[in-house]
Structure formats: C-alpha cells, structure tokens
Amino acid sequence: MNKRITVVVALTDKNLLSDYVLSSPGLKELDVQIITIKGAASAAEAFYQGISKTDCPWIIYCHQDVYFPEGSGHEIERILSKVEKSEETKTVIGFFGITGDLNSENVAAIGKVTSGLLGTVDRSQNTSKSIIAMDELAVVMYRDCKYKIDPKLGWHLWATDLCLQAALEGVHLRVESLLLEHYSAHDYVGNGGCPPEYWNSEKVLADKYLQLDIIRSVCSTYIRRQAPQSLILPKRPLRRPPRLGFDGRPR
C-alpha cells in the first residue's frame, strides 16, 4: 500500500464510484488507499474527515465519477517527485483550470479533460502564468497545505478559492495536462446551466474577495455590479466518454 499518496472521495453513489474511481488503472498503478466519506455537509468536511483517516502526506481529492486512465498514476508520481520540500505546503495541483491575471479579461482555459457533456476538451497548449481558477474534478494537495478548503463554499468553487488564496500571496498553483475522464452526471441542470447551489457558492466567494471586481471560474465569470455570466453548455445527451490514456490516446 502506498505510504505517500492516498485518495479521498465524497461518496453519494456507489455505482459511480465503482465504475470510475475504483475501476481506474491509474489508481491501481499507485496502489493507493481509497477513503470514502459519506454524509458530509461540504467539500471541506469530506476532505478533512478523509485526511484524518490517513498519515499519507499527499491527497488526491476527486469526484466519485472521475476515471484515472492507464499511465496517469505513474505520471502523478513523477509530478510529485519534482516538488521541492520547501514548496510542499504551498502545492495544489489541478488538471483543468483558468490561467491569467486577477481582475483581467486576458484569461484562457488550461489543461485537458474528457466529459460526458463536452467530450474531450484540450487546452494543454496554453501556458500557465498564474492559475486563478481550478476545476474540482480532481485536485492533488499536501495534507498540511497552508491554503484551506472553506466550508462556507459548500460543494462548489473551493478549488478556485484555493487559487485565489495563493494568487493574492503571489504564489502560482499548477494545472498539469493529464487527461482524466469526468462523467459530470450531477454537475449541471436543465440545458447545461449550473445548479442553484453553485450560485450560492459564487456569492460567498465574491463576498470573500471584495478587492476583486472579476472572479473567474471554469463555469462562470462574476463581474461585480453585474449579473453573473454562466457557461451554458450545448444541449446534448449525456454519454459515457471513450476510455483514453492519460496522453489522450485510445486504450
């Protein structure tokens, strides 16, 4: 069993967990313990309950419907092996996000993901300047990271909050171009809009960072004194994406 890395998952659907996380060859490569947390009231509660059950220094905190393809575990080990000891407490690594400057229109998506709603989105060609938003589908964190998941945010935007905590200190978090599969079954409502709980979290985030007039996330843009702008996804049937390797090639 891996003594350095473990996985924490907030569990609401055993079938999704079985089809995705528990079936992931990438996690089998790591030989990790998978800790599931039921009944948590927030992402923060699930995370901190989870890390209380392990002594591993590195935590992969992921959704129950994320699949880590063949080769991804070895790649995560390679990425973590390059983290300097002095940087561990300031390290948060995501796999899809937004790069750019705070309070700026000059931003771009970065990373790769395959989802049941969007198919494969590849923005790995974009260069990371400063990560100002991060998708919560999977995040690798040091257990004693100085940037904390805020329980007031509920289940949404907590990784973007980590990015903002760091960016305001001049610290740049990272997005690695490692293709993961995210079923996204419960992330959107109606024609692809975000659920009401998401907008509640966005309001909490906006109130937390009154010094920012613009707050970007993967799914929306908050402009102070204007109505929030949602990323409305094209209406298409939810389907299970093809299983690909971490490099995007079919397996």
Structure confidence by residue, pLDDT tens digits, 54-103? 999 999 999 999 999 999 999 999 999 999 999 999 999 999 999 998 98
Low-confidence ranges of the chain (pLDDT < 70): 117, 128-129, 185-192, 226-251
**Cα distance between residue 230 and residue 103, in whole Å:** 18
**Per-residue pLDDT at 103:** 83
Yes or no: say if 17 and 36 are a contact pair by the CB < 8 Å rule: yes
For the chain, the structural domain boundaries read: 5-230
**Cα distance between residue 45 and residue 66, in whole Å:** 20
CB contact burial 52-91 (16+ within 10 A = b; e otherwise): eebebbbbbbbbbbbbbbbbbbebbeeebeebeeeebebb
| Residue-level length of the chain | 251
Q: What angle do CA 112, 108, 59 make, to 5 degrees?
A: 45
Task: Report the DSSP beta bridge partners of residue 188.
Answer: none
**Per-residue pLDDT at 235:** 47
**Cα distance between residue 133 and residue 141, in whole Å:** 15
**Per-residue pLDDT at 230:** 52
Classified by CATH at the fold level, domain 5-230 comes out as: Spore Coat Polysaccharide Biosynthesis Protein SpsA; Chain A (3.90.550)
> Taking the CB of residue 119, how many other CB atoms lie within 10 A of it?
12
C-alpha distances out from residue 219 to 45, 99, 134, Å: 23, 14, 10
